[in-house]
Structure 1
Amino acid sequence: MSHRHGTGTSLRSSFLCGLLERTDQAPAFLLECDRAALGALQRHLALHRVRRKVTVEPRPELRVWAVLPGSPEEACGAAPLQEPAGSVAILARDPRTSRMGWRLLAEGQGPALVPGGRLGELQDYHRHRYQQGVPEGVHDLPPGVALPLESNLAFMNGVSFTKGCYVGQELTARTHHMGVIRKRLFPVQFSGPLPASGIAPGTSVLTESGQAAGKYRAGQGDVGLALLQLEKIRGPLHIRTAESGRVALTASVPDWWPTAPK
């Protein structure tokens, strides 16, 4: 089992954790988000607070760790956690998919709380989630661009179809029930040499005949995410770059998705 310090998520894919209530304290929640979206999130929450006695404040003393499973079998097991001495520690399953293991919020050094863990690098964490097809943060889910259902948030417990009113609920629910999702974010892997500067977000993904199949969204090295038309993911795909010409890529359907894309 390995654990790595990871980033949070954007306004479209934040983590909400309820704290155990004590009789002498008011109910409290921890909301994990992308650091780049912190200011926007605080303003958003303040706007909807109205006149309620709610306090919103950052908790910089808490660090976020991703506890990744060392094998598919381990992903379904229980993560070991030692009792912290005089500090706050919260370990919860990553709500997106079991392939992402657990999220650990802790003061100080989180690795000491996971016996047998191996401290990895941040880029290892991002490579793992790109291989699993898991978007995260404003880089992968740009505000005003990424749509919840196309970004597979319904597969990752990120969209409720039973909750009361929220912004965009009607359009999201109608699209879901009509089954007219024509594009999705897919994990992709490149083969062949890549440009030294990497692949720019928004680069067109093309079919063998040169037809538009979608757009590259983000990634790291030879793995990443691309928003692709469902009907065109099976055939050969490629992108064109000024440095290396044509670079082939393969899109895959993650095995943790609850249903195969239609």
Structure 2
Amino acid sequence: SYTTNCINGNILIENGYLKLPKIGFVKLKQHRQIPSDYKLKSVTVSQTPSGKYYASVLFEYESQVQEKEPHNFLGLDFSMHELYKDCNGNEPSYPRYYRQAEKKLKHEQRKLSLMQKGSKNRGKQRVRVARLHEKVANQRKDFLHKQSRQIANAYDCVCIENLDMKAMSQALHFGKSVSDNGWGMFTTFLQYKLEEQGKKLVKIDKFFASSQICSCCGYKNPETKNLAVRVWDCPECGTHHDRDVNAAINIRNEGMQIVFA
């Protein structure tokens, strides 16, 4: 990739074409209309491993976001299989795109490894593998964008745990599963979508015992340190808990305390 700054009109977007320095006008597929008061600052041109070219154009504009008083709160607890569970007991049923494509990826990557380095067939096979990876990444990104948009439109404040996903994938040997559901990407999308509407994303300390505390009476159950315990009954008040839903409720309550403190 390379980035170039806009100086004396050397970068322009007009009539379905992008003007670049030393290249001239290149036909483009424009994803959205640019308002007339936006000022073009720079463009970054990048090439994907599958051979596609993308131009990311940076604009400057004035915007004053009015902060909203939070009324609707949502707590989200990270889930390895469903991406998350919220405090209302809902889950997005994440399709796990990488796992779906894993068998085909193994087959194509095995073919690539057996081909002679530098040959034309190896170059063609490398592109096939890159396209498969690109498709999985695009499916995941599309799903995460849609989920984060639904939540950002429906709630004023979303509360999550501030998790270190890299450390989690290494410590628990869940590398593929953690990478597949894209929790870090999801929280990034959610944060900017909330902030552009004057809403908030609150991050709770990762050492907060969200799974161990009963959301009804506050009793702390040490047995839930074991990840195999998915449901439990509170010995103090007798409430039956789903581990992840109970954690999401506690995360929401802790986030409300932080906001109103």
Q: Same fold (TM over 0.5)?
A: no
- How high is the TM-score relative to the length of structure 2? 0.24
- CA radius of gyration, larger in: 2
TM-score, reference length from structure 1: 0.24
Name the structure with the higher strand share: 1
Higher helix share: 2
